[in-house]
Structure 1
Amino acid sequence: MRRAYLSLLLICTVFAYGQKKETQEQLERRKQQILVEINIVKDLLKKEKTKERNILLEIDENNRKINLNRQLINNVQKQISATNSNISKTEKEVNTLEAELAKLRKDYADLVLKSYKTKSSQSRLMFVLSSDNFLQAYKRVQYMKQYADYRKSQADEVKTKAESLKEALARLSIQKAKQQKLLAEQQQNEKNLQEDLGEQKNLMSIVQKDQQKYNKHIKQKQEETKAIDRKIKQLIKEAIEEANRIAREKAAKEGKKTTKSTASTKSATAFELTPEGKIVADNFRANQGKLPWPVAKGYISLPYGDQPHPVQTQLTIHNSGVEITTEAGARARAVFGGDVLQVQVLPGGNKAVLIQHGDYITVYQNLGDVSVKKGDKVSLKQDIGSISTNSNGQTVLKFLLSRNTDIYNPQSWLSRSN
């Protein structure tokens, strides 16, 4: 058991060595966030098992849990490494303090002994009276005073050093207790990971027995997704055209001119921004990587771009945004202030809301009831509507981001935590 303990300790220390250093507080916050995400996935899997079995969904969610457990293991390994480093520093501090305190106590004992030998008031008086002259007597009085002060300062230093040692030992005790707790956590995390991997292997064996059926199902879902993506692109183009037409009409009424190049070439592909619109666009762009999540709680279950299917890895799928899995009953919220360009029913019956932020657009898909309408001004984190829960019990918001008609990866615009 002790050998296993030491092996785990060594592995944890080596793994984290050379990694980008994070503070203990940052690591703890990230660990808590991962645990929240794991609990969401566990709840989804629990609900899934009460319904008609959907193997692909179970594999997808179990795969997410495996990835989260690996992140958790990585996080705790970093915490263990940081704690080991703190223990090492504190042990060195304790050793130094003990050596210094031992020397101080010896010096003080010698001082007390020397003082004891000359402690009588008669001896001190005779020492002064035996002076050859007044100046020498004065110097001897000053010497005795300084000697008494020095003895007091030595006593104070011994006391201070002893208190420092006591504090360091208490700190060391806390750090070692934390180390034990983290190692126990890590052993449990490793056990959970192995259980999840075993479950995943069983699920994958079921899929392999009827691979053709599941491939057909995946391809069908991809075709449905592509149809919705085409609809969203069309909505964005139409929204830009309409916004530019309204802007030109307003400019004409106010006696302003619109350049020919703007009117002819940009009307379908880019917003004709007013000075105010440019400010909004600049502010939006300045917040890249800092935008709040479009849900209060959740995790990215399908990232942006081309990627192997999480179950049938030989199939490549494309995601034009990010899919964020959240709790049943969750509501979507605006990631930035802006104007509602469009509220549209998509194939399948769910709704999408498009919000303009200068020449940027954020799209919120898979909504049920919507709490905004076309033309509304929305503020940061304003409620947009409820997120639909599908027949499999999944509540997933698809979030897209574009600049004019160019689709961007929205994950790089969101803050690390929601």
Structure 2
Amino acid sequence: MASKLKYLSFIFFIFLALGSWGVNAQNQRQQELEGRRRELQKEIKQITALLFASKKERKSIINTVDDLSYKISVRKNLIRITNQQANLLTREINFNENKILDKQNKLKILKQDYAAMILRSYKSRDRKNKLMFLLSSSNFQQAFRRLQYIKQYANYQKDQGKLIKEETKKLQLLNQDLVSKKEEKKKIINENRFAKEALDEERNTQKVLIASIQKDLSTFSLKIKTKQKETQKLNEEIRKLIQEAIAASNRKAGKSEDLNVFSLTPEQKALAKNFTSNKGKLPWPVANGIVKLRFGTNPSPIDPSIKIRSNGVRIATNKGEPIRTVFEGVVQGIMTPKNGNNTIMIRHGNYITVYKNLSKFYVSKGDKVTTKQIIGEVITNKATGESILSFGIYKDSSIQNPSSWIYKL
């Protein structure tokens, strides 16, 4: 019986050693998924508050479809993450059930072995038997060993009793953990069901809107193209100003004005190095907001044949939201075009951050600014009620993806 117990204990130990790494990895992955799920839930709440809460302003169909498309994409990510969590919990539940079964088998053998020991002890409980066992020794050493054996056997009985209690407690904890995980899975599945219902409702709304757009697609497509041309024109003006600043820096340093990179002073080099070292850790240009349009080329949800080119990101925020710098630097320039896309450019060595769609300015050209300093307020579109900040980053005259620079953008 003892040898069988040792064998099963060894097998269980090997199984536990192999499984513990997997359990730790699963727990870490579960925590990561839970963190991401909470972020997406928070983002959906922000989308609702920033893009759908206002009933006073009547949005254009184009803006409504844009906002719905964004909300749908976030909700689909939430459902995907929640499905991954549910699947991971299923594996954890199965693992726990296997561990419980192994514990039950081990506990059964321990109890059987302990019962057999108690029975043997009962049969040989007479003190005369123990005394005769000692007196029948052939010499003193053998008597001493037999005495030690009697003590060890008594201690072994106590240890087995303790082990049974410990294993019983472990089994109870595993059962509690199993119940907890099943409740967690049930909660996640219910949340996912509600998310899918909301997704279906949003998709149906989007289909109705797109169907109405299809009746006059050419008109809506023209509006999108016109808006794209205005954005492109402003981007070209920004690039022109940056090129002029690069030429001025090289002229001042006695270098060719045809160079496409800034000529930096030692102080500017140190600032640029510090800016680079903070890549991925820079703060958001607003305290509260969501990324409505990301960097790069994105197909229009209205007309997929139209590609929307974004040199930065568009962040939906609150009405009158203060705009803040993402890093210390110097105000390179301020633009006030006729279309209202008021813009501030902040220089950080050979890097420039661009803040567009401002209603107010709190700085002037040449001012030194610090990280998170308020430099203005976002403008609110009177027609749609939306407050959108367009934010971009340049290295010399090359555009950068802000998501690579701003923390969790």
**Which range, TM-score by smaller chain?**
0.7 to 0.9
- Offset at residue 60 of structure 1 (A): 0.6
Letter in structure 1 aligned against 2:89: T
Question: Residue in 2 aligned with 1:399?
Answer: 391
Question: Residue in 1 aligned with 2:80?
Answer: 74
- Offset at residue 263 of structure 1 (A): 4.2
- Offset at residue 48 of structure 1 (A): 5.2
Question: Residue in 2 aligned with 1:275?
Answer: 266
- CA separation in 2, counterparts of 1:393 and 1:296? 19
Question: Residue in 1 aligned with 2:166?
Answer: 160
Say which of 165, 170, 177 aligns to 1:171: 177
Identity %: 37
- Offset at residue 108 of structure 1 (A): 0.7
Say which of 332, 338, 352 aligns to 1:361: 352
Letter in structure 1 aligned against 2:183: A
Work out whether 1:293 is the aligned partner of 2:299.
no
Q: Matches of residues 207-218 of structure 1 in structure 2 within 5 Å? A: 207-218=213-224
Deviations 1:114-149 (A, max 9, x none): 111112333322322333433332222111111111
SS in 1 for 2:258: helix
Work out whether 1:146 is the aligned partner of 2:152.
yes
Question: Residue in 2 aligned with 1:412?
Answer: 404
- CA separation in 2, counterparts of 1:264 and 1:220? 34
SS in 2 for 1:349: coil
- Offset at residue 406 of structure 1 (A): 1.8
Letter in structure 2 aligned against 1:332: I
SS in 2 for 1:265: coil
Structure 2 unaligned segments of length 5 or more: list them.
1-25
Question: Residue in 2 aligned with 1:339?
Answer: 330
- CA separation in 2, counterparts of 1:318 and 1:276? 35
- Offset at residue 325 of structure 1 (A): 1.2
Number of aligned residues: 383
Work out whether 1:236 is the aligned partner of 2:236.
no
SS in 2 for 1:399: strand
Q: Do 1:297 and 1:326's aligned partners in 2 also have CA atoms closer than 8 Å?
A: yes
- CA separation in 1, counterparts of 2:27 and 2:96? 19
Q: Matches of residues 2-401 of structure 1 in structure 2 within 5 Å? A: 23-47=29-53, 49-243=55-249, 248=252, 258-259=253-254, 262-266=255-259, 269-391=260-382, 392-401=384-393
Q: Do 2:247 and 2:257's aligned partners in 1 also have CA atoms closer than 8 Å?
A: no
Question: Residue in 2 aligned with 1:8?
Answer: none
- Offset at residue 339 of structure 1 (A): 1.8
Superposition RMSD in Å: 2.2
Q: Do 1:364 and 1:397's aligned partners in 2 also have CA atoms closer than 8 Å?
A: yes
- Offset at residue 58 of structure 1 (A): 0.8
- Offset at residue 205 of structure 1 (A): 1.1
1:371/1:121 CA distance change after superposition, 3 Å: farther
- Offset at residue 393 of structure 1 (A): 1.3
- CA separation in 2, counterparts of 1:30 and 1:181? 17
Letter in structure 2 aligned against 1:315: I
